[in-house]
């Protein structure tokens, strides 16, 4: 049965005249009247003590007040009192009188509300004709500490969904721990697509308030306005397929650099410094500020907050809560990193505290952390399948992030070799990153900082949605790690050239440039296995031509020692403009003007290091000095062991050992050719295989002649 008059349940006051709540100096009537002036829309008289006559008198007096405001008065539990007073209805608990009897006693026009903390209780109450449900307890309160009944926002949402699915249009309020700090979030997170809450029931936040009128006014305003944090959640580019998401990534990364958003980090002792540097590297402006009171000002600067509880302590937790509220009030995004969430009882409790203190736009953690967050505040039903295994498979991880994101109405990231990210609807797996990331502490934390930069810089209104921003941050971070992983992880490369940005997501292999060092006529008779060096150089030139890799050539004192040998000349001609320099020199090293200033190597014109393969002579003089110069200027050097030699063969092994010690990679020409290709699927593959096949005899000869003894 539905009550004929639609009641406004927006702000439902439940009285409490105990000393602890009402206080010694105030009386119930004054406080209720102040609350009514502030905008309370329903009043329930809840008195647990006192005899019937006393209660009737109280109710009658209160009814006189509520009538003046045109607001219904309901009596908790006591049908007899409601009948005696003639007020608008009752609210009954599950243990109280049976609903059919209550209806019979009150008649069809009175309001009957029922408490429900499970789906079954709610369905039963709806079927039996309740006018509204009081769903809860949402959060623990000093008066309600029975944790069995604490169902969280997720429990409320489930009840709303199930009663809507069963076809009931019974009105609903939620109750338990609602106050001005959490009311908007509770509304937002309790909202089921099938049915919204009609209001919230509030006890101590009004009854114990120094100014009940002001608090009621504020609460009413908060309930009836759009929460700041919910603005622009979706963006207008909600894309669902991976390719389209990846296409948006470069613009997100660029936009961070263009807008330098504030990344406010409340983070652990371990990563303060590197997280600040990572924020700078991705283009954000970091501030490492743990004092919660500062967040009111910092939250106004258009940035995002990272709450990383890696070094949690009691004062830290209070500071996180303050900052979280400040950012929520400003509608600025918050990234939560529940570091070590499951490690201690303190941390598990801290997760609960943070989840119930505010709205978190992104929750990012490793598997254990995300599992713990999911299990916090959740009911037995949802725990099944997560607790049963220690390590989840990919499907379970995807389900976990999706379920948590759906529950919290936010974006959830679960990191690991493969990362899983979801907004509750769209779920993606990201396979980028490098195993080194798992071996260095704080990489998860600095990923959190990177995410904060990306979501902070989202353009209001027309920008990409949060999920895309988060994915962009993950790809930025992880591809940076992939690129940096070869030399040293700490050199994370965050600044991409625009060409690289456009290719993010499908990064090409950067091919190794061959340099041909001084393979000249006059050396022919003197150098150990000279003709083998020539064979390898020829193969390298042909391969570079097919792969369109730039080539650098030098001669040493050409007038005296002759030009580059005639066997190589036709190949240099075929290579044409790929030969970027063919210079004569007196310096032993090839690092001479014209090469050192070439865009391939000059740090002012390109921000990436070059990979260079050296072939030529003499291994212990010009080749060594070239290698050392290139290494010193930050380039990666490869030496073809089947392509370098000296007058005395014993020099070669010594030179290779020295260059390797200095950081060069000693390899073979064939290995280099295949590394340049990377993938047999490239269009050039066929041409290269032709070169390799035709040079098979040369390769064997060069390896036999030059390498046999020296590696
Ligand atoms: N084996 C791996 N291969 C590729 N990427 C990895 C690997 N292990 C971790 N990562 C990446 O490292 C980053 C951090 O993830 P991880 O799961 O190690 O975080 P975490 O345990 O929270 O780190 P921390 O607590 O040290 O900050 C993510 O970007 C993740 O994708
Ligand atoms: C090692 C460590 N201890 C607390 S936080 C942290 C950084 C990685 O999460």
CA distance 135 to 114: 8
Please tell me which of 9-18, 473-482, 671-680 the model is most confident about, judged by mean pLDDT: 9-18
Instruction: Name the strands in the sheet holding 262-266, side by side, starting at the edge strand that comes first in the sequence.
Output: 285-288, 262-266, 304-308, 334-337, 362-366, 411-415, 419-422, 427-430
What average pLDDT does range 578-605 have in this prediction?
84
Q: What is the 3-class SS of 378-396, one letter each residue?
A: CCHHHHCCCCCCCCCCHHH
Cis peptide before 369 (omega within 30 of 0): no
ipTM over 0.85: yes
Angle, in degrees to the nearest 10, between helices 649-662 and 624-632? 10
pLDDT at 464: 81
pLDDT at 420: 94
**Ligand 2 neighbour 271 (Cβ under 6 A):** yes
Between residues 293 and 499, the one the model is more confident about: 293
Q: Which atom of ligand 2 is nearest to the CA of 310?
A: 5
* Ligand 1 pocket mutation, candidates 270, 391, 415, criterion most atoms within 8 A of CB: 415
Contact 364, 415 (CB under 8 A): yes
Q: Which atom of ligand 2 is nearest to the CA of 444?
A: 9
Per-residue confidence at 96, pLDDT binned at 50, 70, 90?
A: low
Round the average pLDDT of the chain to a whole number and report it: 86
Per-residue confidence at 261, pLDDT binned at 50, 70, 90?
A: very high
| Catalytic annotation, residues | 445
pLDDT at 462: 54
* Ligand 1 pocket mutation, candidates 269, 370, 414, 443, criterion most atoms within 8 A of CB: 443
pLDDT at 236: 47
Contact 561, 644 (CB under 8 A): no
Q: pLDDT (tens digit, 9 = 90+) per residue, 181-236? A: 888 888 888 888 788 899 999 999 999 999 999 999 999 999 998 877 765 555 54
**Confidence (pTM):** 0.62
| Out of 218-222, 393-397, 643-647, 680-684, least confident range | 680-684
In angstroms, what CA-CA distances link 317 with 170, 275, 287, 300, 346? 39, 20, 18, 22, 11
Contact 379, 413 (CB under 8 A): no
**Ligand 2 neighbour 285 (Cβ under 6 A):** no
**Ligand 2 neighbour 440 (Cβ under 6 A):** no
* Ligand 2 pocket mutation, candidates 344, 441, 444, 448, criterion most atoms within 8 A of CB: 441
Residues with Cβ within 8 Å of 183's Cβ and at least 6 positions away in sequence, in order, are 200, 219, 222, 223
Report the C-alpha dihedral over residues 577, 579, 581, 583, rounded to 10 degrees.
-120
| Domains contained in the chain, CATH given | 11-225 (3.20.20.70), 242-502 (3.40.1190.20), 513-707 (3.40.50.850)
Return the percentage of the chain with pLDDT > 70, whole number. 88
Task: Please provide the distance, in angstroms rounded to a whole number, between the alpha carbons at the two ends of the chain.
Answer: 90
pLDDT at 97: 65
Nearest CA to ligand 1 atom 18: 438
pLDDT at 677: 77
Residues with Cβ within 8 Å of 83's Cβ and at least 6 positions away in sequence, in order, are 105, 106
Tokens of 373: 């967050």
Q: Which residues line the pocket of ligand 1, CB cutoff 6 A?
A: 339, 366, 415-417, 419, 433-435, 437-438, 441-445, 447, 477-478
Q: pLDDT (tens digit, 9 = 90+) per residue, 324-375? A: 989 988 889 999 999 999 899 999 999 988 988 889 999 999 999 999 999 8
Q: Which atom of ligand 2 is nearest to the CA of 308?
A: 5
Q: Spell out the long-range contacts of 419-427 with Cβ–Cβ below 8 A and sequence spacing 24 or more.
A: 419/474, 419/478, 420/394, 421/467, 421/470, 421/471, 421/474, 422/398, 422/467, 423/465, 423/466, 423/467, 426/240, 426/467, 427/398, 427/401, 427/402
pLDDT at 338: 96
Per-residue confidence at 497, pLDDT binned at 50, 70, 90?
A: very low
């Amino acid at each position: 049965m539905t009550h004929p008059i639609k009641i406004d349940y927006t702000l439902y006051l439940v009285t409490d005249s105990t000393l602890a709540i009402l206080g010694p100096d105030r009386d119930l009537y004054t406080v209720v009247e102040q609350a009514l002036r502030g905008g309370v829309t329903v009043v329930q008289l809840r008195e647990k003590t006192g005899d019937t006559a006393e209660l009737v008198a109280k109710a009658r007096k209160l009814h006189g007040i509520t009538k003046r405001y045109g607001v219904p008065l309901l009596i908790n539990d006591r049908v007899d009192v409601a009948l005696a007073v003639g007020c608008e209805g009752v609210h009954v608990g599950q243990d109280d009188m049976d609903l059919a009897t209550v209806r019979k006693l009150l008649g069809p026009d009175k309001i009957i509300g029922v408490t429900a903390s499970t789906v079954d209780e709610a369905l039963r109450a709806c079927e039996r004709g309740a006018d509204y449900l009081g769903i809860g307890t949402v959060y623990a309160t000093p008066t309600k500490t029975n944790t069995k009944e604490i169902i969280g926002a997720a429990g409320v949402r489930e009840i709303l969904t199930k009663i809507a699915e069963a076809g009931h249009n019974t009105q609903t309020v939620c109750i338990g721990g609602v106050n001005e700090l959490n009311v908007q979030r509770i509304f937002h997170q309790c909202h089921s697509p099938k049915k919204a809450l009609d209001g919230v029931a509030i006890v101590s936040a009004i009854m114990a308030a120094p100014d009940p009128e002001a608090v009621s006014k504020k609460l009413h305003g908060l309930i009836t306005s759009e929460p700041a944090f919910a603005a622009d959640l979706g963006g207008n580019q909600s894309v669902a397929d991976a390719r389209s998401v990846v296409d948006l990534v470069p613009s997100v990364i660029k936009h961070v650099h263009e807008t330098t958003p504030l990344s406010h980090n409340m983070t652990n002792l371990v990563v303060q410094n590197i997280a600040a540097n990572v924020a700078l590297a991705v283009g954000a402006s970091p501030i490492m500020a743990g004092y919660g009171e500062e967040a009111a000002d910092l939250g106004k600067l258009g940035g995002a907050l990272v709450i990383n509880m890696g070094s949690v302590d009691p004062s830290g937790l209070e500071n996180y809560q303050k900052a979280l509220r400040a950012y929520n009030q400003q509608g600025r995004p918050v990234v939560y990193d529940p570091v070590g969430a499951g490690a201690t009882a303190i941390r598990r409790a801290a997760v609960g505290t943070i989840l119930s203190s505010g709205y978190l736009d992104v929750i990012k953690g490793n598997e254990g952390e995300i599992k713990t967050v999911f299990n916090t505040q959740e009911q037995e039903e949802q725990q099944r399948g997560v607790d049963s295994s220690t390590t989840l498979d990919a499907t379970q991880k995807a389900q976990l992030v999706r379920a948590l994101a759906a529950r919290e109405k936010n974006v959830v990231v679960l990191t690991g070799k493969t990362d899983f990210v979801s907004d509750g609807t769209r779920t993606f797996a990201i396979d980028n990153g490098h195993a080194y990331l798992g071996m260095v502490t704080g990489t998860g934390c600095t990923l959190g900082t990177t995410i904060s930069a990306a979501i902070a810089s989202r353009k209001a209104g027309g920008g990409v949605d949060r999920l895309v921003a988060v994915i962009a941050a993950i790809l930025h971070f992880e591809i940076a790690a992939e690129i940096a992983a070869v030399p040293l992880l700490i050199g994370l490369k965050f600044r991409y050239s625009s060409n690289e940005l456009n290719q993010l997501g499908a990064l090409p292999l950067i091919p190794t440039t061959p340099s041909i060092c001084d393979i000249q006529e006059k050396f022919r008779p003197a150098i150990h296995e000279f003709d083998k060096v020539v064979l390898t150089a020829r193969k390298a030139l042909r391969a570079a031509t097919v792969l369109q890799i730039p080539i650098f050539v030098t001669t040493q004192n050409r007038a005296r020692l002759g030009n580059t040998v005639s066997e190589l000349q036709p190949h240099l001609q075929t290579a044409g403009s790929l030969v970027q320099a063919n210079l004569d020199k007196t310096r032993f090293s090839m690092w001479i003007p014209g090469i050192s200033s070439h865009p391939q190597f000059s740090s002012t014109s390109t921000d990436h290091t070059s990979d260079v393969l050296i072939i030529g002579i003499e291994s212990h003089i010009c080749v060594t000095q070239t290698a050392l110069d290139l290494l010193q200027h930050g380039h990666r050097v490869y030496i073809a062991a089947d392509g370098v030699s000296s007058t005395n063969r014993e020099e070669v092994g010594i030179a290779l050992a020295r260059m390797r010690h200095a950081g060069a990679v000693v390899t073979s020409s064939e290995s280099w050719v295949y590394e340049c290709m990377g993938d047999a699927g490239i269009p050039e593959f066929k041409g290269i295989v032709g070169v390799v096949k035709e040079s098979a005899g040369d390769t064997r000869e060069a390896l036999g002649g030059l390498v046999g003894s020296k590696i």
